[in-house]
Amino acid sequence: MDDDERRYEPRALEQKWQRIWAEERTWEVANPGQPGHRSDKPKAYVLEMLPYPSGKPHVGHLKNYSIGDAIAHYRRRNGFEVIHPMGYDAFGLPAENAAIRTGEHPRVSTERSIAQFREQFRAWGISIDWTREISSHTPEYYRWTQWIFLKLFEAGLAYRRAAAVQWCPTDATVLANEQVVDGRCERCGSLVEPRNLEQWFFKITDYADRLLADFDLLEDWPDNVVTMQRNWIGRSEGATVVFRCEQLELDFPVFTTRPDTLFGATFFVVAPEHPDLERLAAGCANSDAVREYVAAAMRTSTGERAAESRDKTGVALGQTVTNPVNGEQIPIYVADYVLMEYGTGAIMAVPAHDERDFEFAQRFGLPIRRVVAAASESEGQREAPLEAAFVSHSEHDVAINSGQFSGLPSPEANRRILDWLGESGRGERSVNYRLRDWLISRQRYWGCPIPIVHCERCGLVAVPEAELPVPLPEVDDYKPKGKSPLAGAEQWVAVECPSCGGAARRDTDTMDTFVDSSWYFLRYLDADNGEAPFSAEAADHWMAVDQYIGGVEHAILHLMYARFFTKALADIGCLRVQEPFTNLLTQGMITRDGAKMSKSVGNTVSPATYVERYGADAARTYVCFMGPPERGGDWLDEGVEGVYRFLRRLWTLAVEVEQRTERGDSAQLAGAAGPARDLLIKTHWAIEKATHDFDRGFQLNTVIAATMELVNAAYRCKNGLYDSPAGAAALRFATATTASLIFPFSPHLGSEVWEMIEGGRVWDQPWPRADPEILSVERFELVVQINGKLRDRLSAPSGSDRDALFELARASPKIAEQLADKEIVKVIAVPDKLLNIVVRG
RNA sequence: GCCGGGAUGGUGGAAUUGGUCAGACACGGCCGACUUAAAAUCGGCUGCCCCCAACACAGGGCGUGAGGGUUCGAGUCCCUCUCCCGGCACCA
């Protein structure tokens, strides 16, 4: 064959294998009951987070799918029936905002982008079962998103209520709590404003405890993700204590985590949004000032109000409540540092033991009474005025100035006070969460319509299942105007009430796109099902996702919502698992020149460019070689080139080995000696190293390094091996093994080299196994240390005991010299590794 | 402030979990071979310092953010500190 034709040409080679995989439908798997279903193999569900299709895929996608594909291949080769599907999170704001600018329908731009993504995934050679492809914007998909919404509605988990919500003025929509970062819209950065609106919520708070408890069901999730979710849910144990306003005959329950500080409560604060505020203010002399304060608080943006540097503000209400532990009358204030959304919207203020209350008390000249002290403090220290709030959770603290509880250790005071309150019905143990219900209404166009009809007579009426999907109507104007663009589709909005038949109107909001992605991993399992979102049989077989791979930016939002959906669907009876993702790998971000890639900085990397120049194999292998998957890394063109050079070296080696050796002489391996045996050992070493690193948290970078070492070893010895049968066999074995080990990263080249050397399909081959016999050596290099310092290396027989090793070491001139006139204190031996002689003198 | 994760050559990162002078593999750099030449390719060297007129060899010392500790032995375990990254934060 002509030399030119034997050059490494990734493009032609990659196209060849991609064609074979498409024609032979290599990566398709069948459900139970379908022809071709493999009940003989264990299943593995390998899934990467689905992409939001905008423009073309970027390097983050390349990394995500390269890692996922390597894992999918590795599982397949280890005997698993792997389901590895793909889809698109196609609804969303960017496409809609583009539509407002360009006038092009979001469906058109989205579908163009989907085509580009699909095309790139094929060009990358990702092993996807394309028969399961879904896209969340299609009626076939969102019909079932609506169906699930209705099930949640029936179960009381979807409800509508008026609430103070966070409004983004730029995107002209409300946002979920999770989408507000530092008081700003996560997406566009605008300061969000408080608004009182009636909105749809999902009752995720009902699941708070299960979301926490079921972390135990997960096998391997990164600690930081679990911690972030824990913090987000923010469970705190404490008590609800009732303070009564005698004048108005009103009870005010408050939540506290520190019942032991009750005797230190010297005033009481309610949030500006508190529903009883008007009644409290009505009779008091200050009522104008109160109303003014409340109005100002309502105008202040959420972020501004939360700013820590801000001085405490508030207004006295001129009323008092009774402290249930000592009957004291303490004044009531309204202040915006108390949040209506947390607890009961009212607090008992204990300035001596809470920084915020302390600050407020100082500003308003309120008494500060100390009720907790460290056990070590003297009487004098305990009586001295506080410079700052004494906030401590030590078990060694004691209660002081606390009536009959004075002198008790704080934990006990806590218990006793609670019991005592409970007996008289003035308080009880309770739990509070930071987590709020998930606000899912969006006043935007490009999303899944909410399948509810508003009827003046019947109220909220579910669209009957048979009428799903409620189609997303065509509109002329996408511009958000404070209400959903869907409201402009008058014909669509006007509808008969499914319940009474009278004139009614459709809900014109669309759902948060996180709803779409909270169940997509279930639709893959049964993507063509026209009767249900998925069959119980398919879900029972494939769920849960054994390995999920995606960006850590979804640690809270997507991952918590999907966990909630899974539990809710299980409760409704659709699903038998409690957790969707058993193992999670969060990949690190790829930067360029040390900075996050962004169009405005102009440091983006287009994978397509590199795939064209170096091939998909080089690009994929490079992103896996940069470092451990969960770490980030800086993209270097030289790095891709380095991997490309390695692949080309493998190719060149394979061509040479194929030309200069004969197939089928593997029996010769048994007799290998000298360099041939060394190469054989190196090959088994590489197999063991690769397998070990794959199994230990997918250390993909070192798997690749092992294959590089093997190729380097083959290059160093190959010219001396061609002439002997054993040498030739060792070279063939090393080359084919490299192909086999690199296949999960470079599937095209791996397939090609395997075919050249061994014939057939590498993906049908089981993952290679290292032969322990070959790896166990008869002799090893003994390291001899004296007082922990290396002094000599000797060849020693494997399995020698301590005494034998010591005798051997003493025979060495270097060691003998070191040991002269020294007293041997101790000899430590590590079998087949080292000997440490401890001496004195 | 609280929680989580880090800090290893010029660079990305290795180190089989307390055991072979730490630095695999790769990038970058230097040198050589091939070539009229360059590119490509192949091969070699590449932590710092000392000893030496210089080269080579051999040798010695120091090195995993800083300091201390445990141990025969520490990048790995413990304590203190510094810095960096991520998350949460007026949540009672």
Residues in chain A, overall count:
841
Residue A167: name the closest of A435, A441, A434, A437 by CA. Answer: A441
Residue A622: which nucleotide is closest by CA–C1'?
Answer: B26
Most confidently predicted of A96-100, A238-242, A425-429, A616-620: A616-620
Nucleotide nearest to A180 (CA to C1'): B88
Query: What is the mean pLDDT of the segment spanning A681-696?
Result: 93
Q: Which nucleotide is nearest to A836 (CA to C1')?
A: B72
Q: What is the pLDDT of residue A1?
A: 42
Strand B positions with any atom < 7 Å from protein CB?
A: 3-5, 11-17, 19-21, 24-28, 40-44, 61, 72-74, 86-92
A545-558: pLDDT as tens digits = 999 999 888 888 89
Q: Residue A307: which pLDDT band, with cuts at 50, 70 and 90?
A: low
Q: Phi-psi bin for A765: left (phi > 0), alpha (psi -120 to 50), beta?
A: beta
Q: Are A480 and A488 in contact (CB under 8 A)?
A: no
Sign of CA dihedral A520, A524, A529, A531: negative
Q: Tell me: pLDDT of A2 over 50.
A: no
Share above pLDDT 70 across residues of chain A, in percent, rounded to a whole number: 99
Residue with minimal CA–C1' distance to B12 is A626
Choose the weakest-confidence range: A33-42, A707-716, A809-818.
Answer: A809-818
For the ranges A221-225, A520-524, A798-802, which has the lowest average pLDDT? A798-802
**Nearest-CA residue relative to C1' of B2:** A231
Q: What is the rounded distance in angstroms from the CA atom of residue A612 to the CA atom of residue A833?
A: 48
Please give the pLDDT value at position A498: 94
| pLDDT at site A183 | 75
Average pLDDT over residues A58-67: 94
Beta bridge partners of A823: A840
Tens-place pLDDT, residues A517-540: 999 999 999 999 999 999 999 999
- Joined together, the tokens standing for residue A86 give 């793909």
Which residues in A34-45 are b (16+ Cβ under 10 Å) and which e? eeeeeeeeebbb
A107-165: pLDDT as tens digits: 999 999 999 999 999 999 999 999 999 999 999 999 999 999 999 999 999 999 987 78
A646, closest nucleotide (Cα–C1'): B26
Q: What is the pLDDT of residue A387?
A: 84
H, E, C per residue of A137-174 = CCHHHHHHHHHHHHHHHHCCCEEEEEEEEEEECCCCEE
Distance CA A776, CA A773 (A): 5
pLDDT at A284: 77
Cα distance from N-terminal residue to C-terminal residue, chain A = 72
Window from A31-35, A304-308, A425-429, A444-448 with minimum mean pLDDT = A304-308
More confident residue, A778 or A607: A607
pLDDT at A3: 47
* Confidence category of residue A210, pLDDT binned at 50, 70, 90: very high
Residue A343 scores a pLDDT above 60: yes
Residue A436 predicted with pLDDT over 50? yes
Q: CA of A386 vs C1' of B7, distance in Å? A: 40
Distance from CA(A229) to C1'(B82), angstroms, rounded: 30
Using the structure, give the distance in angstroms from the CA atom of A701 to the C1' atom of B3, rounded to a whole number.
Answer: 30
Distance (Å, whole) CA A503 – CA A494: 7
Q: In this predicted model, which residue has the larger pLDDT, A7 or A533?
A: A533
Q: What percent of chain A has pLDDT over 90?
A: 58
Residue A817 (CA) to nucleotide B61 (C1'), in angstroms, measures: 20
The whole-number Å distance from A413's CA to B89's C1' is 28
Q: What is the mean pLDDT of chain A?
A: 90
Look at A164 and A610; give whichever has higher pLDDT.
A610
A729-783 pLDDT, tens digit each: 999 999 999 999 999 999 999 999 999 999 999 999 999 999 988 888 777 778 8
pLDDT higher than threshold 90 for residue A598:
no
Nearest nucleic acid nucleotide to A833, CA to C1' distance: B20
Which nucleotide has its C1' atom closest to residue A391's CA? B1
